[in-house]
Chain A
């Protein structure tokens, strides 16, 4: 089954906003190869879990919160098999891990600041009281291998906010989730707050989607600036996936250079950019 896992290529990229330092980047991403397991129907499942999160600029500790969320999201995805069958239970587990542990993180942060002789100031107090906020997108790409050795591919994703999943075939968009139009990005996406303990509300607002993959298909998980670029009509007649693939398959420096160029041309908003790219090899 290790051979099956090798059929899924995976890249992770993160570029900070121009004018900010890399440490100030408030996006986070995580990928985790899960354990191969039987699915109870005579097949073997080979999963890969991925998550991206975009911390809200106007909240404090948004980067740390986004880091917490992606780590907890892949943990929860890998801990629950068909997690979408009990979405309420899945959300409760996620929020218990993330929001439940945030108070301790905050207490530690305050103590560290005190120890450094830089206690919390009046202008930080309201933001810390309000909590940290971030989007969250989690996905599982799953290969299911039957006892005859036939392999099928599928994805299952959840989203809160405007971090997006795209399915590409031959470089063209086959599916965009949860935002489907470039005009739908704004400065008030749905966000998961560190003080939100309303499991029912989060479960209700969480969007869930599924799809099947063919050999050669790609899945992209992207934060909003790149997601908006992928959905914009300005690609000069070249499929967006092809443009991106040319950049991503060149060398390590190409992606930051390309992002800078797109920003300079006004084709991409200046914001942190995060991308997880997963490609099912054609030979699969």
Chain B
């Protein structure tokens, strides 16, 4: 059965994040109750994804290298590592090293239940690996090509491992041509366990209802959203099960595409062993 390969330190997974850093990402979008620049939404998403992944793989002796992670930015004259701080310039980095080297750790406030039915503000540590960057065009085709090279090398070195996952976070307005064929080429790489999974988070100013893991492009607000939906891989069956358990309506054609909504939950789609769940 595909997409069932063990993910462990001896058989690590590969996670590549592609981050749109073009000028249009400075435009605002409605995010929950706030209006934020798209670039800010995307950098927050990356920092939270890396945090969630680190927490998921944390054990007493540190974060285990169950994944190797790359954060690739694409914008004006640049496609390459978007890590800041000690990891600047690096492509695929073992997760333990990622966790131990955020550019900085901020203190943010968060509302948590007070145990008496109300909420109370508490301070939480928020590691930051990248800040918002907005500059120039959107070379999405080149970015997918960059990921293609990383993925090709990874698949050659890990021919029977869990296939690489590529998550593209963008407003969808590619300025170096239609990215479709680059996306098809990227998703055509495969290990014995299955083809590369390409997922997309679309941050858009077009408004409309946020959409999470749709099975059809009907109802998506514009051509960019539809294009990114078409580029996105169909979710493997175990990921569909997790999406369903999170309350999403899923079918056999549900794709790894999210429009103006939170995508951090995909970290929960990854199986690294028995999950820590409370008795119900």
Contacts and interface: CB of A to CB of B under 8 A. Distances in A.
A56 B271 contact: no
Q: Which of B11, B51, B58, B99 has the most CB of A within 10 A?
A: B58
A196 B279 contact: yes
Interface in A107-153: 121-127, 130-133
B273 interface: yes
Contacts of B278: 191, 193, 196
Contacts of A188: 274-275, 277
A18 B10 contact: yes
A192 interface: yes
Q: Is the interface of A mostly helix, strand, loop or mixed?
A: loop
A59 B279 contact: no
A248 interface: no
B273 A123 contact: no
B81 to A, nearest CB: 21
Given A187-B274, A189-B274, A196-B278, A60 B60 contact: yes
Contacts of B274: 54, 56-58, 133, 187-189, 191
A190 interface: yes
Contacts of B127: 122
A54 B58 CA distance: 18
B192 to A, nearest CB: 12
A202 interface: yes
B279 A56 contact: no
Chain B residues touching A, range: 20 to 34
Contact of B275 (A187, A196, A271): A187
A19 interface: yes
A247 interface: no
A201 interface: yes
Interface string B119-144: 00000010100000000000000000
B8 A19 contact: yes
Given A19-B8, A19-B9, A191-B279, A127 B55 contact: yes
A10 interface: no
Nearest to A18: B10
Given A19-B8, A19-B9, A123-B99, A56 B55 contact: no
Chain A residues touching B, range: 35 or more
B262 interface: no
A61 interface: yes
A37 interface: no
A36 interface: no
Interface string B262-279: 000000000111111111
Contacts of A62: 276
Contact of A187 (B51, B63, B271): B271
A174 to B, nearest CB: 28
A254 to B, nearest CB: 24
Contacts of A17: 8
A205 B276 contact: no
A121 B55 CA distance: 10
A123 B124 CA distance: 11
Interface string A59-70: 111100000000
A115 B58 CA distance: 21
Nearest to B96: A123
Q: Which of B9, B125, B279 has the most CB of A within 10 A?
A: B279
Given A124-B58, A125-B125, 5 more contacts: A19-B11, A56-B273, A59-B276, A60-B59, A133-B276
24 contacts: A18-B10, A19-B8, A19-B10, A54-B274, A57-B273, A57-B274, A58-B56, A58-B272, A58-B275, A60-B60, A61-B60, A121-B99, A122-B51, A122-B125, A123-B55, A127-B276, A133-B277, A187-B271, A187-B273, A189-B274, A192-B279, A193-B279, A196-B279, A202-B279
User: Lowest 8 CB-CB distances: which A-B pairs, in order?
Assistant: A57-B273, A19-B10, A59-B276, A122-B125, A56-B274, A123-B54, A133-B276, A123-B58
